[in-house]
Amino acid sequence: MSASTRESLPTTCFSVQACSEPSVMSRVLELFVKRGLVPTRIVSDVSGPADDLLTIDIQMRGLEPELAGYMARCMRQLAYVDCVLTSERGTVPDARTG
């Protein structure tokens, strides 16, 4: 996919809720690595009464919707993952080109 095509696609946001286990983050990120993708943004947080809940928020610009859906389904099958939510947001036009 060309850079201009990737830029025209929306940003896909994944929110992963899982048990706070060391292997979860690497398994989630491996889904991107195997496809040669570098997420646009990654934020994680550990919370809960005993620091037992891990939340990983990932944004990926230019991901084909079919691939985004497939990756979300793969994340849902990972050990310790409780929930994966996805959303899309459109691209923001460059103010210099308008």
Instruction: Answer whether residue 97 is part of any domain.
Output: no
Q: Which tens digit of pLDDT belongs to each residue from 50-60?
A: 999 999 999 99
Q: Say what the pTM is.
A: 0.81
Asked if residue 61 lies in contact with residue 41, where contact means CB atoms within 8 angstroms, the answer is: no
* pLDDT band with cut points at 50, 70 and 90 for residue 96: very low
Instruction: Answer whether residue 68 is part of any domain.
Output: yes
Q: Is the pLDDT of residue 66 over 50?
A: yes
Residue 45's identity, in one-letter code, is D
The residue range of the domain holding 57 is 3-88
| Contacting residues for 77 by C-beta, under 8 A, at least 6 apart | none
d(CA 30, CA 24): 10
Q: Which CATH number belongs to the domain containing residue 8 in this structure?
A: 3.30.70.260
Q: Is the pLDDT of residue 3 over 60?
A: no
Asked if residue 5 lies in contact with residue 85, where contact means CB atoms within 8 angstroms, the answer is: no
